[in-house]
A and B are shown apart, each in its own frame.
Chain A
Amino acid sequence: AQKVTQAQTEISVVEKEDVTLDCVYETRDTTYYLFWYKQPPSGELVFLIRRNSFDEQNEISGRYSWNFQKSTSSFNFTITASQVVDSAVYFCALTPSGGYNKLIFGAGTRLAVHP
């Protein structure tokens, strides 16, 4: 079965705190892709990152960083020094192999950053 679990439904932090959003996935495929998307209050879905199953290097982009660990089937997302503009729903998603790029989404984590 293919599945993505985001166990944290809602997280509330104060500005400048670091916060980690957890993502655990299930797939029997050896080739797959993992994604994070951001959905701000305006409602659109914004692509943040794509990671393929053969690349376990951590990635950093400004205040954002991602930790991919195949051993624990996790692809966690950390925001350093959070800001109010980071308030959004964040989705982790999985694309198994097969050529169609179908996304399997987690339920999402709602992050509220308070001033």
Chain B
Amino acid sequence: DADVTQTPRNRITKTGKRIMLECSQTKGHDRMYWYRQDPGLGLRLIYYSFDVKDINKGEISDGYSVSRQAQAKFSLSLESAIPNQTALYFCATSASYGAAFFGQGTRLTVV
């Protein structure tokens, strides 16, 4: 089993719908992140969390919200999806100044 698991792996949704992407990890790391990948732009940080009581906005948080349900679970929500949120989404975890380990990614298409 993967250390960082994202569900779903692929999702097509309609404009205006609410959608949740889920992430769980078995690495025991306290830090968790959500990134978005767009062609030619690399990955950009949406939200990050140090622990269950610590949630922080990243570079591109508008239109997104997150919930840290437990140390091992970090979900990303799009309250009202729009087409320009079509992207590849990655969840990641890390220990202090260690490498970040990424999930397999969720390919989201908003039509």
Contacts and interface: CB of A to CB of B under 8 A. Distances in A.
Interface residues of B, number: 27
Contacts of A64: none
A60 interface: no
Contact of A102 (B42, B58, B107): B58
A55 interface: no
Q: Which bracket fits the contact residues of A?
A: 20 to 34
Interface in B91-111: 92, 94, 96-102, 104-105, 107
B74 interface: no
Nearest to B104: A44
Contacts of A52: 97
B13 to A, nearest CB: 19
B42 A44 contact: no
Secondary structure dominating the interface of B: strand
A105 interface: yes
B97 A95 contact: yes
B3 to A, nearest CB: 11
Interface in A26-73: 33, 35, 37, 43-45, 47, 50, 52
B43 A102 contact: no
B45 interface: yes
Interface of A: 4, 6, 9, 33, 35, 37, 43-45, 47, 50, 52, 91, 93, 95, 99-108
